[in-house]
Chains A and B, each alone.
Chain A
């Protein structure tokens, strides 16, 4: 027997032809996973009568999915130009789309060839061979560094550059632009400022920033896919300037975005805002997770658990580890002079994530959308300084921020 809530969800479906309550659905639409609303009918007779016009829906869906999977489209042109699919955590490339049970509409697209960094730019030790050596062996993986005034000043500089680079990326976002183009903007802006784009070749990551569209949670690799009207896209920038890293990210709207996505992005922004509000000496790192979790859950959203905020400075990632979920065992309390990121990833559906064949891109297991925001923070004697804060020149992209 159907439960009460189930009965009411069926009762709301109406016949696509005559609007009477519907109890039957088109099996072809079921196969093609098309929306139920246009596939419901009250009786076989109504279905039969609607058939000749209804079946156009199948044709449209099938054409669209074939176009997307055929190599005989722009992707095959790109392949012939040397664009390839990324696999094995960035250590290899392949001309064929890897096999995967993609959790949502998004798939891997080919990526462009490696961007070069001029010789005069100071580079971290992974730039050449893809493997950090100093970072994993450093004491700073266990002990949280208290930065000297000199280090703090360098961090302010780096973070300002990182903010300006992110803003440059934000300005080019619109339907039709590929994430690869965003990466080019980030790469060139970083180098123009005299910095190195930290993600480039970090454990073989192939690009200079992460671009995470829709159901991608984080670490999306910029590729040939064009942004579409209605997408949300996160751009995550880290700049290494004079040996010091600054890390931030924001989620942007592409064209006209639906209400649910707008709420998701706004709530995620608020999660970060509320987390930053409690930062000051003496606060436990584990408290951040409680704040983020509370706000997300209250809005009916979930918190990604596999990725966390991290210490940052002369190292890209170091202690402390700051989970964004509740009831975590993070060690330590905040002290003046510490610098770290908070970067909550919030999902419209469930928290679980999966990794694409490229070994980097994390997507929601249920294919629903995810948003993220990140700042690099400095704990001061009395509170916090947001080192990557918006500047007066930053583009006006959030309706809740403008007057």
Chain B
């Protein structure tokens, strides 16, 4: 210890800026979160090709790729991270925290991704590549976090890569078993579908397949590619689960006036679009949706649901998003004076009963 005989110079007291911040207990910081894109698809469809294409492209973005073997359950122990910048691939192992559920809100996969973002200088995007036959629904529920958690990661988009040459065969597999082949789930849950290897089929076949895909999922964006060479702006930063980013949803609903699948494939997995011009009651809508999503009313199995809603007594356009049982309805922006304030709801699923859904929506009128 120094022997201070002489006092040091006292310093000017600065206003305590940090004190002001602490007072606002409910402040929301401007957390910039890194988008996570889930890439799924059959073995050999071209997922790895797509991933390599993204990693090696001269786009100046730092992207981490995580290879995962989810299969049916998410109890994975380790993921490998490839990070490419100008072609250099760096591999490292990220240990997922032993799947300790222990009353934590965030799944260990999310925690591992957050740790990754914290450790890296700058990460622009994360790609989560699932291997084999994987249904992306469980992943979506884990990654679609509440905004209140202000996580450093957020679900950006679900992409399915399909093999143009083999898709028809994969969809027809159904005839041999009672459950749906994964192809239907992967298409139904996707935000974007990359139809790869189109060079191996004719233009007519390609058009047919696209129609087929849209009959399962009318909302997905279908991109035809050769060797997965796709414009990155189509697959990164889609913000498909961002409640405030409505424009993509609106344009989808606008562009596809007749989204309802007319020719009923014997798959039974299809898209249904219903509308209602009058404003509807929010509480009734919630109960109606919960009936369908949580209680599986009339045995309808809804995989995805998106809607633009006109809620009674609100000047805000509301957006509805649902993946399996998880849903949210949030106000997105003010209605503009001129626009048509109708409700438009799109369901993607199995055993959808149009009449039941239409009358249910009608009953949501105040």
Contacts and interface: CB of A to CB of B under 8 A. Distances in A.
Chain B associates with chain A:
yes
B148 A30 contact: no
A310 to B, nearest CB: 5
Contacts of A151: none
B22 A349 contact: yes
Contacts of A9: 15-16, 19
B22 to A, nearest CB: 6
Contacts of A305: 105, 146, 148-149
Interface string A316-333: 010001010111110111
B198 interface: no
Contacts of B10: 24-27, 41, 44, 47
Given A48-B7, A55-B4, A328-B146, A22 B13 contact: yes
Determine chain B's interface SS by DSSP, over half rule.
loop
A185 to B, nearest CB: 23
Contacts of B327: 329
Contact of B16 (A6, A58, A89, A341): A6
A390 to B, nearest CB: 22
Given A297-B25, A297-B26, A331-B294, A89 B98 contact: yes
B96 to A, nearest CB: 12
B103 A309 contact: yes
B356 to A, nearest CB: 21
Contact of A329 (B13, B97, B98, B328): B328
With most chain A CB atoms within 10 A of its CB, the pick from B99, B103, B294, B325 is B103
B103 A27 contact: no
B79 to A, nearest CB: 17
A301 B20 contact: no
Contacts of A343: 103
B105 A7 contact: no
Contacts of B22: 349-350, 366
A26 B13 CA distance: 9
B255 interface: no
A136 interface: yes
Contacts of B20: 5-6
A332 B8 CA distance: 64
Nearest to A26: B10
Interface residues of B, number: 41
Contacts of B25: 297, 300-302, 349-351
Contacts of A83: none
A131 interface: yes
A51 B325 CA distance: 67
Contact of B11 (A5, A24, A131, A141): A24
B201 interface: no
B8 to A, nearest CB: 5
A306 B106 contact: yes
A308 B105 contact: yes
Interface in B10-36: 10-13, 15-17, 19-20, 22, 25-26
A327 B26 contact: no
A328 B148 contact: yes
A24 B327 CA distance: 56
B326 interface: yes
B102 interface: yes
Q: For chain A, which range describes its interface: under 10, 10 to 19, 20 to 34, or 35 or more residues?
A: 35 or more
B210 interface: no
A25 B15 CA distance: 12
A260 interface: no
A323 B145 CA distance: 12
Contact of A131 (B4, B73, B98, B328): B98
Contact of A27 (B8, B290, B294): B8
A2 interface: yes
A141 B148 contact: no
Contact of B147 (A3, A30, A306, A327): A327
A102 interface: no
B75 interface: yes
B8 A28 contact: yes
Interface in B80-127: 97-106
Contacts of B147: 327
Contacts of A135: 101
Contacts of A26: 7-8, 10
A59 interface: yes
Contacts of B328: 329
Given A25-B10, A44-B9, A323-B146, A306 B105 contact: yes
A36 B15 CA distance: 12
A136 B15 contact: no
Contacts of A329: 144, 146, 326-328
Nearest to A355: B111
Contacts of B290: 284, 333
Contact of B103 (A10, A51, A308, A326): A308
Nearest to A343: B103
Contact of B102 (A202, A302, A331, A366): A202
A293 to B, nearest CB: 9
Interface in A251-307: 284, 297, 300-302, 305-307
20 contacts: A9-B15, A10-B13, A24-B12, A27-B8, A27-B9, A30-B11, A51-B4, A135-B101, A136-B99, A308-B104, A308-B105, A317-B102, A317-B103, A323-B105, A326-B148, A327-B146, A329-B144, A329-B326, A331-B325, A349-B25
Given A135-B101, A136-B75, 19 more contacts: A10-B13, A24-B10, A24-B11, A25-B11, A25-B13, A28-B8, A51-B4, A58-B4, A89-B100, A137-B75, A305-B149, A308-B105, A325-B146, A325-B148, A327-B147, A328-B146, A329-B328, A343-B103, A349-B25
Please name the 9 residue pairs, one residue from A and one from B, whose CB atoms are nearest each other, closest first. Answer: A6-B15, A24-B10, A51-B7, A203-B100, A47-B10, A331-B325, A2-B15, A310-B103, A302-B25
